[in-house]
Amino acid sequence: MMERPFAEVASVGVAVPSGILTNADLSRVLDTSDEWIVERTGIRERHIATAEQSVAMLSHDAATRALAAAGASAADLDAIVLATASPDRLLPSTACDLQALLGAENAAAFDIGAACPGYIYALTVAEGLIASGQSRTVLVVGAEKLSTITDFEDRSTAILFGDGAGASVVRPSTVPGRGILSTYIKSDGRLAPLLYRPGGGSADPISEKVVCERSHYMKMAGREVFKAAVLAMAEACDQALRRAGITAGQVDLLVPHQANLRIIEATAKHAGIPMSKVMVNVDRYGNTSSASIPLALEEALAEGRVGPGSVVLLVAFGAGFTWGSTVIRW
């Protein structure tokens, strides 16, 4: 195996729509309450994009900030790896729309469909592109407009999801020891029907039936997903730490996927990391799938909770099922 790190995460930029949907807003149209949602999930509000704000546009705003923070330009990009579960169109990729918006004329561009761990999957691909010498500057994006695939008549899912985008410039490590120390990605497709969109794809193309049955929206078996998420996030933490050759005590900040505060607490407990070293912003964003980790990471950077030399553990779980983790020395 080659010596790590090959690649560093040079920056994080985010874009968040200004529209806010609170628990009080939801409880006016659904049989739910702020108390129930906060107690079961920790979520208080989520951001919702306008009809005009596409995933590519949110990605563009996040990417522009990430490029500026890394001192890079769109022309420097060799690849754009965009993770999303809510692409603007099914063909072509949202990454290609982003490439056009950025004017990143030297970049290959493609989407990754790995649901909530999408940013970690994309980082893993970026690291591989850099390690192989294929690319030098890679833009990794996690961007979602989950409000368009959420059934706002289903109280068990409508309360959970939000919109947003995060992006990072990934490039060869510039400082010895700084960068991605380990990655771990995993999946179990047998469990797909526990969290999926049954209709609207080529297996059951969009039709009057699909629309009437509302099967183009996300369906979820919440309790089963909850249990699987706790187990998978625990395993992923162990794997990333083992592969990086470090212990939980050496982690300065755990940045878990922001789906549910109870899942985050269980993950931290298993990893042996106190909540004082865990980034939490699920209360203000809900679950933004692939955007969730960069949104939390950017906030941690802005608050000074991550800085040069910090050891950060990222971990996520989502539809597929997919899960993954990475240890980064900042």
Shortest Å, Cβ 288 to ligand COA: 10
Separation of alpha carbons 289 and 287, rounded Å: 6
Cβ neighbours of 185 (radius 10 Å): 19
Q: Omega before 92 cis (within 30°)?
A: yes
- In the shown chain, the binding pattern of residues 146 to 165 toward ligand COA, with x for contact by CB under 6 A and - for none, equals ---------xx--x------
| Three-class DSSP category at 138 | strand
Amino acid (1-letter code) at residue 130 = I
Shortest Å, Cβ 49 to ligand COA: 19
- Joined tokens for residue 160: 């959970």
Going by C-alpha positions, the residue among 328, 324, 327 that lies closest to residue 185 is 324
Selected from 95, 104, 109, 116, the binder of ligand COA by CB under 6 A is: 116
Q: Omega before 176 cis (within 30°)?
A: no
Concerning whether 96 is annotated as a catalytic residue, the answer is: no
Closest residue to bound ligand COA by CB? 222
The values of phi and psi at residue 173, to 5°, are -55, 135
Q: Establish if 40 lies at the interface with ligand COA (CB under 6 A).
A: yes
Q: Establish if 285 lies at the interface with ligand COA (CB under 6 A).
A: no
**Residue bearing tokens 């809510």:** 86
Concerning whether 23 is annotated as a catalytic residue, the answer is: no
Separation of alpha carbons 195 and 320, rounded Å: 7
Selected from 4, 7, 13, 41, the binder of ligand COA by CB under 6 A is: 41
Asked if 248 and 224 count as a contact pair (C-beta separation under 8 A), the reply is no
Q: Which CB sits closer to ligand COA, 42 or 87?
A: 42
| Three-class DSSP category at 220 | strand
Selected from 119, 184, 317, 323, the binder of ligand COA by CB under 6 A is: 317
Asked if 160 and 41 count as a contact pair (C-beta separation under 8 A), the reply is yes
State which of positions 185-224 bind ligand COA (CB under 6 A).
Answer: 220, 222-223
Separation of alpha carbons 1 and 191, rounded Å: 32
- Joined tokens for residue 177: 């020891």
State which of positions 218-277 bind ligand COA (CB under 6 A).
Answer: 220, 222-223, 225-226, 229, 259-260
Shortest Å, Cβ 296 to ligand COA: 14
Contact window for ligand COA (CB under 6 A) among 31-39, 64-72, 73-81, 182-190 = 31-39
Concerning whether 287 is annotated as a catalytic residue, the answer is: yes
Question: Residues binding ligand COA: what is the number (CB under 6 A)?
Answer: 20
Q: Which residues are catalytic?
A: 116, 257, 287
Residues in the site for ligand COA, rule: CB under 6 A? Answer: 32, 36-37, 40-41, 116, 155-156, 159, 220, 222-223, 225-226, 229, 259-260, 287, 317-318
